Amino acid sequence: MIDTLKAYIDLTRAHFFLAWPILFCSGLVLAFENYGGFSWGLVLKTVLISLFGFEAGLVLNDYVDRDLDKKALKPGDRFNRYWRLFGRRPIAEGLISSRNAFSLFLVLFAATSALILTLPFPNSLYVFAIMVYSYGIEYFYQVKKRDQKYPIAQLLGRTDLALFPVAGYLCYGQPDMTALAYLVFFYPWTMAHLAVNDLIDVKNDRIRGLRTIMVLYGMKGTLYWIVGFTLLHFLVSPLFLRELGDIAFYGFMLGFLLLAAANLYLLNEKSSEAGLKALPVFHGTMVIYAVSIILDFIY
């Protein structure tokens, strides 16, 4: 029983469970700010939508890669333990059957869909469409990166994460310049973050035959990718910052300083080990952005 529970915790990356609702709700509170009103009931509903929806995507990720993951390095490597608390790949290792994993995905998908359909129209349509698109592009990303000459999978695949806080916004708001500004601001961050992951996990990716950024372009090209998209993230930030207040502004400045420091560290060290140390900084900046937007609304 305990081993099964551990396996499901690793499958769903449950120790990150707070991050997804915080990011999603940062979009929601922006909609409250722009369109007026507030509802604790809607906040609770969006928390559940974000939690169930993101967890479903993580389960889908492992399900699609279940056969390739059997080729991965032995369980317990530091990167795997970062993402999976107990360091296991449950489907590939036979701890959870493929059938049970896919059933869990369907249950989470159904629960998320049911919650989304309680949103007023057309908000329900917007959020449902983003959810369906995200699962479709996640599947595309996992399959396409197995055989590509150019990073098409990466450039398209991580639009799902970039759209995640936008979906939170659309739970209450409408497609407008704020939603677009959040998407334009967050997308370059997702690209830099993805390349940091690839930098760390390059040994596994080569074993599994995946055409990731590191495999395609090597260390130098990957560092250029990370720094380039981080700079783009900074350059487009005024489009989004003008939608925010003072608390968010200072929070974002702190996030920018941390990202800049992480980039300088990577450029200096040029190693997978450095990537593993920089990755929590990238995740920390995401949380700082989201929390500062929420605090901006509260105060």
3-state secondary structure the chain: CHHHHHHHHHHHCHHHCCHHHHHHHHHHHHHHHHHCCCCHHHHHHHHHHHHHHHHHHHHHHHHHCCCHHHHCCCCCCHHHHHHCCCCCCCCCCCCCCHHHHHHHHHHHHHHHHHHHCCCCCCHHHHHHHHHHHHHHHHHHHHHHCCCCCCCHHHHHHCHHHHHHHHHHHHCCCCCCHHHHHHHHHHHHHHHHHHHHHHHHCHHHHHHHCCCCHHHHHHHHHHHHHHHHHHHHHHHHHHHHHCCCCHHHHHHHHHHHHHHHHHHHHHHHHCCHHHHHHHHHHHHHHHHHHHHHHHHHHHC
| pLDDT, average across residues 234-247 | 95
Write the pLDDT tens digit of every residue in 164-188: 999 999 999 999 999 999 999 999 9
CA distance 214 to 220: 9
- Residues contacting residue 58 through CB under 8 Å, at least 6 positions apart: 11, 12, 13
Sign, CA torsion 177/180/181/182: positive
Cα 110 versus chain centre, distance:
21
Q: For the chain, what is the mean pLDDT?
A: 94
For range 264-272, the mean pLDDT: 95
Angle, alpha carbons 239-280-29 (nearest 5°): 40
What's the rounded mean pLDDT across residues 190-196?
97
- Indicate if the pLDDT at residue 105 is higher than 80: yes
Q: Considering only CA atoms, which of 135, 139, 144 is closest in space to residue 209?
A: 144
pLDDT band at 69 (very low <50, low <70, confident <90, very high): confident
pLDDT in tens, 120-148: 999 999 999 999 999 999 999 999 999 99
Q: Given this model, what pLDDT does residue 203 score?
A: 87
Residue 22, helix vs strand vs coil: helix
CATH numbers and ranges of domains, the chain: 2-298 (1.10.600)
At 146-156, the pLDDT tens digits run 999 999 999 99
Please check the confidence at residue 85 and state whether its pLDDT lies above 80: yes
Q: Is it the case that residue 189 has pLDDT exceeding 60?
A: yes
Task: Say yes or no to pLDDT of 162 above 60.
Answer: yes
Q: What is this structure's pTM?
A: 0.95
Q: Identify whether the C-beta of residue 146 lies closer than 8 Å to the C-beta of residue 98.
A: no
Read off the amino acid at residue 110.
A
State mean pLDDT over 68-76: 71
Using pLDDT thresholds of 50, 70 and 90, give the confidence band for residue 73: low
Contact assessment for residue 108 and residue 100, using Cβ atoms and an 8 Å cutoff: no
Asked whether residue 76 carries a pLDDT value surpassing 60, the answer given is no
